[in-house]
Amino acid sequence: MRMHLSALPAQPDFAGARVPERSTLATIRSLLPYLWPKESPGTRLRVAIAVSFLFGAKVALVLVPIVYARAVDALAPTQGAMLAVPVALVVGYGLLRVAAAGFGEMRDAIFAAVQQRTVRRVALETFRHLHQLSLRFHLDRQTGGLSRAIDRGTSGIEAVLRLAVFNVVPTLVEVGLVTAILWHLFDWRYALLTLVAVACYLSFTFVVTNWRVRIRRTMNENDSDAKTRAVDSLLNFETVKYFGNEAHEARRFDESLVRYERAAVKSQVTLNLLNLGQAAIISATLAVVMLMAAQEVVAGTLTVGRFVLVNTYLMQLYQPLNMLGFVYREIRQGLTDMEQMFRLMRVPAEVADRPGAPALQARGGEVVFEEVQFGYRPDRGILKGVSFRVPAGGRLAIVGPTGAGKSTISRLLFRFYDVTGGRVLVDGQDVREVTQESLRAAIGVVPQDTVLFNDTIRYNIAYGRPGATQAEIEAAARLAQVHDFVLRLPDGYDTRVGERGLKLSGGEKQRVAIARTILKDPRILILDEATSALDTHTEQEIQTALRAVSRDRTTLTIAHRLSTVVDADQILVLVDGGVAERGTHAELLALGGVYARMWALQAEQHEAVEAV
């Protein structure tokens, strides 16, 4: 029996935020609204019908041994009597077995839709919640471990619904019915021995399984660690190759696999011990009860049919009891995996819309920063009272040394984070007072590191406005100067770009990103060092496309190369989180300050490159 049991140690959650653990009952309560939704009477009706079939199957199954025993007694030889085949009993026996199987199959068929819909709803809600979490969470995430948590969580829900709902309760009901029948047909000793055996079986199973949980926890931690290392290594394939560290990556991966291997062997050995103990308890009980019944048959107080009856009942109990041990282990696994996913869903969104927040009323696209203060950590400020205004349709360039806070400004405008002091306004509206969806719909970004989806060029351009027509996609591609390049490809717009767009060059990826932004048609455009990673010739071509995109739009350009911002209406020079200088290119050169020194240094570097 292969299992993947996840554990919930008291440790920081995925993004470093500590989320309190909860009890098993709390986890089940989290699942119940999906299983019994108030807004879906049809789902609740399906559950009710499935439960009725469940009990119908158990009642039919409990009656089978009684009919079987009567058939045996009817066929037992008696002195001088003619034997006749008990046709009614044999037919009844067959019908009851068919009914038990039929009710069980109908139960599963009816509940299948409930089970899969519940899994789908929880998975979708988790997926949506992940997209609502802050950029801070996703910068800190471990992709492999995160995806494993979601996979195990959805599998856990399936296991709990399949096993707990239709195995645990029915098995306990069956144990109760069999115990009552044994007491009624035999005496209290048979009933007591059966209950003691069940209690011993369950106690042994729970104790050993709880011991195994600690082993499974180690297994899953190492499993997640191995998957995380593998995903991280493959995502950074080029870096691994650059430094020739294939052996190093394989060694790190194998370290996790070795720890997993040791825990897996120990888990298998303890599973064998558990199965052996369960079999010993059931077999010993069966032998004792059959010995008691055999003595009464010899004494003439029990018929052969009754002897067969008690044996059949105990054998019939063996299977669900054996399954109950497996079910308990699987349910513990499922609940633990579910709780890990529900913990993920309980990670609070750092940036959230206030209740009843209106949509942004985007007009010209004016952007204002008023004494903005911000730090990614409380003890380390990034922006220290930054103020500026970009009128509708205006062009602002932000320059400065690395770490000055340039890219932080674009993240605050996009509201990936909330300011810790001051305000960010768009068309006179505080970005914290409007919905994030409407704010981001008004802003387009062309980043330095363009990451594309592993899909077609058509899909990646259309991502700017899903549902755009082919003509609109091609029009955007022409403005971005990428249309002719795409037509030269064998598959045209159906060309797949590879993981993160690795099949395209840097310039080609940037043009696709520009086309995507053109298709979005935002009022405000952020160019976040969009050409800093390109060669001079490609940069000039991209700049031509960017000028076409930014026409009649409010544009914020975050730049490292000062030659790309000389035509900006205003240039902001950030130093150590504050505005050191501001003005046009000519004004800043005449000032002879930080900007002038940066310009001179870059001019010298350019001349040196040209000389080479």
Q: What's the pLDDT tens digit per position in 504-563? A: 887 888 888 888 888 988 999 998 876 655 566 666 767 777 777 777 889 999 888 888
Burial of residue 447 (number of CB atoms within 10 Å: 0-12, 13-18, 19+): middle
C-alpha–C-alpha distance, residues 343 and 347, integer Å:
7
C-alpha–C-alpha distance, residues 338 and 30, integer Å:
9
Q: Is 403 helix (H, G, I), strand (E, B) or coil?
A: coil
Q: Identify the DSSP state of 166.
A: I
* Max CA separation in the chain (angstroms): 130
Residue owning tokens 């040196």:
608
- CATH architecture of residue range(s) 367-442+522-611: 3-Layer(aba) Sandwich (3.40)
The separation between CA 556 and the C-alpha centre of its own chain, rounded to angstroms, equals 35
Q: Is 386 helix (H, G, I), strand (E, B) or coil?
A: strand
Q: What is the pLDDT of residues 405-453, one digit of tens each?
A: 888 998 899 898 899 999 999 999 999 999 999 998 999 888 877 778 8
Q: Among 18, 45, 7, 1, which Cα is nearest to 347's?
A: 18
How much is the CA Rg of the chain, to the nearest whole Å?
35
Mean predicted lDDT score pLDDT of the chain: 81
Q: Are strands 421-426 and 429-430 parallel, antiparallel or unpaired?
A: antiparallel
What backbone torsions phi and psi does residue 372 show, to the nearest 5 degrees? -75, 130
C-alpha–C-alpha distance, residues 140 and 348, integer Å:
15
Per-residue burial over 550-567, b if 16 or more Cβ lie within 10 Å, else e, is beebbbbbbbbbbbbbee
Every domain of the chain and the residues it spans: 24-345, 367-442+522-611, 451-516
At 542, which helix (H) or strand (E)?
helix 536-550
The separation between CA 435 and the C-alpha centre of its own chain, rounded to angstroms, equals 25
Distances (CA, A) of 45 to 38, 111, 160, 394, 515: 11, 10, 20, 60, 50
C-alpha–C-alpha distance, residues 348 and 17, integer Å:
9
pLDDT confidence bin for 611, thresholds 50/70/90:
low
Q: Which residues, listed in sequence order, are joined to residue 573 by a DSSP beta bridge?
A: 399, 581
Q: Among 187, 262, 256, 264, which Cα is nearest to 222's?
A: 256
Whether 197 has a pLDDT exceeding 50, the answer reads: yes
Q: What is the pLDDT of residues 138-178, one digit of tens each?
A: 666 655 566 777 777 888 888 888 777 677 777 777 777 77
Whether 9 has a pLDDT exceeding 50, the answer reads: no
Burial of residue 82 (number of CB atoms within 10 Å: 0-12, 13-18, 19+): exposed
CA atoms within 13 A on the CB side of 552: 4
374 touches 412 (CB < 8 A): yes
Percent of the chain at pLDDT > 90 equals 17
CB-CB neighbours of 106 under 10 Å = 17
Whether 573 has a pLDDT exceeding 90, the answer reads: yes
Q: Identify the DSSP state of 151.
A: H
Q: What is the pLDDT of residues 456-471, one digit of tens each?
A: 999 999 988 998 999 9
What backbone torsions phi and psi does residue 347 show, to the nearest 5 degrees? -65, 120
The separation between CA 317 and the C-alpha centre of its own chain, rounded to angstroms, equals 39
Whether 3 has a pLDDT exceeding 50, the answer reads: no
Q: What is the pLDDT, as a whole number, of residue 531?
A: 66
186 touches 314 (CB < 8 A): no
Collect all residues with Cβ–Cβ distance below 8 Å to 99 and sequence separation of at least 6: 56, 57, 60
Collect all residues with Cβ–Cβ distance below 8 Å to 439 and sequence separation of at least 6: 360, 414, 415, 426, 431
Distances (CA, A) of 581 to 227, 405, 492, 595: 48, 14, 47, 8
In this structure, which CATH number among 3.60.10.10, 1.20.1560.10, 1.10.10.60, 3.40.50.1100 belongs to the domain 24-345?
1.20.1560.10
Mean pLDDT along residues 98-115: 85
Q: What is the pLDDT of residues 274-319, one digit of tens each?
A: 888 888 888 888 888 888 888 887 887 777 777 777 777 777 777 7
Whether 482 has a pLDDT exceeding 80, the answer reads: yes
At 571, which helix (H) or strand (E)?
strand 570-575
453 touches 513 (CB < 8 A): no
C-alpha–C-alpha distance, residues 384 and 577, integer Å:
5
